[in-house]
Amino acid sequence: MSNKLNIKRLCFDAVFAALTVILYNFAKIPAPSIFPSFLDINISMIPVIICAFMFGPWDAAGIVIIRCLLKWAIVGSGTGYVGEVADLVIGLGTVIPAGLIYHNTGLKHKTLIAFLTAILSWVVMGILSNIFINIPWYNNFYFKSNYYKEGVHPVLVNMVNTAVYNITFHNVTVTKDNFMANYILFAIIPFNLLLASFVVGFTALVHGRIKVLYDYIDKEDEEDEKKLTEEEIAEKAINEYDEKNLFKKGLLMGILTGIVGFIMGLFKKKSYKKGASLGFVIHFFILCLIFLILYLAIWK
């Protein structure tokens, strides 16, 4: 991939990331009253899925991670980070398989299969995240009770029971014993199926209109390749190898820095309870400075 195309790709990634962050923080809509009140409609996956189809799953996965990190750093979390972690799991679990199918398979109807995979993956990851992350974490964070020892808190049972009771036309009552099965079957599966279908359907419409842009970017790069001499091709191969190694080292530094930041966040109880406190923001900028120093050191 040429430097020219790299710059274009980074520009597109930056635009998609900006759109995703804006939609994620300022365009959430409460779910209809038939669903539990703590669910909301989030359409920030639209730019992410478009990015997965344009440039591959890893660009899209990076945007999903950036979306959550920026929300924690700038806005904070009103859910004890459980909502963002669940969104992270669902986002990664959706764009990676869909992007891999679209870019790395020779299937006849790979576009349709990739879109269907995105919907299915979204629903499956929504089920898993609610079983292992959302409900246990909500239970422990809001009600200070151990989910695995005491079960679901009665308040949470009542919230879900109200929604399920209406969804099933007063035929199903949620209790502490049957909570998870009914919650997944009557709330999580239909909610995520509807939301994923809407987001992916909208993306499919946009994808068809901007496919010309995909082809133009690839075609322009191919034309540039044909104009290169043998010496330029050899030099380009060396530069690409150096860029890949640099990216891997930078990514490793980013992961290590993120781990340090997460550990610091665990000890910052005020930021955990009240969102992004001043201390948390200061920590974030310190981590950015550390990452910049490490990255510049690697560059040399």
State how far the Cα of 103 lies from the Cα of 51, in Å rounded to an integer: 12
The predicted-structure confidence for 257-272, as pLDDT tens digits, reads as follows: 555 555 555 554 444 4
Say yes or no: 214 and 248 in one domain.
no
pLDDT of residue 231: 54
Same domain, 25 and 165: yes
Cβ–Cβ < 8 Å for 142, 125 = no
Both 217 and 287 in a single domain? no
The terminus-to-terminus CA distance of the chain in angstroms comes to 22
Shared-domain flag, residues 264 and 177: no
Backbone phi, then psi, for 36, in 5-degree steps?
-55, 145
Do 57 and 87 share a domain, yes or no?
yes
Q: Quick check: 275 pLDDT over 50?
A: no
Backbone angles phi, psi at 143, to 5 degrees: -115, 0
Rounded Cα gap, residues 23 and 296, in angstroms: 32
The conformation of residue 31, written as its DSSP 8-state character, comes to P
Over residues 35-46, the mean pLDDT reads: 83
The total of structural domains in the chain comes to 2
Query: What global pTM score does this model have?
Result: 0.70
Which residues lie across from 41 on neighbouring strands? 29
Q: Which of 196, 227, 258 is the last residue of a domain?
A: 227
- Assess whether 20 and 147 both reside in one domain: yes
Check whether residue 205 and residue 238 sit in a common domain: no
Domain end, chosen from 227, 244, 262, is at: 227
Q: What is the pLDDT of residue 206?
A: 80
> In this predicted structure, what is the pLDDT of residue 109?
84
Question: Are 256 and 110 in the same domain?
Answer: no
152 & 254 share domain? no
Q: 3-state DSSP call for residue 153? A: coil
Select from 227, 246, 275 the last residue of a domain: 227
pLDDT for 300: 46
Q: For the ranges 4-8, 29-33, 143-147, 163-167, which has the lowest average pLDDT?
A: 4-8
Whether residues 86 and 168 fall in one domain: yes
H or E, element range at 55:
helix 45-55
* Residues 208-257 pLDDT 10s: 676 666 666 555 555 555 555 555 555 555 555 555 555 555 555 555 55
Mapped onto helix, strand or coil, the DSSP state of residue 232 is helix
| Same-domain status, 160 and 283 | no
Exposed, middle or buried, 47 (CB in 10 Å: 0-12/13-18/19+)? buried
> For the domain that residue 165 is a member of, what is the CATH number?
1.10.1760.20
Q: Are 273 and 239 found together in one domain?
A: yes
Query: pLDDT of 150-170, one tens digit each?
Result: 778 888 888 888 888 878 877
Average pLDDT in the chain: 75
Instruction: State the Cα–Cα distance between residues 218 and 165, nearest whole angstrom.
Output: 53
Between 61 and 8, residue with greater pLDDT = 61
The domain of 7 spans 3-227
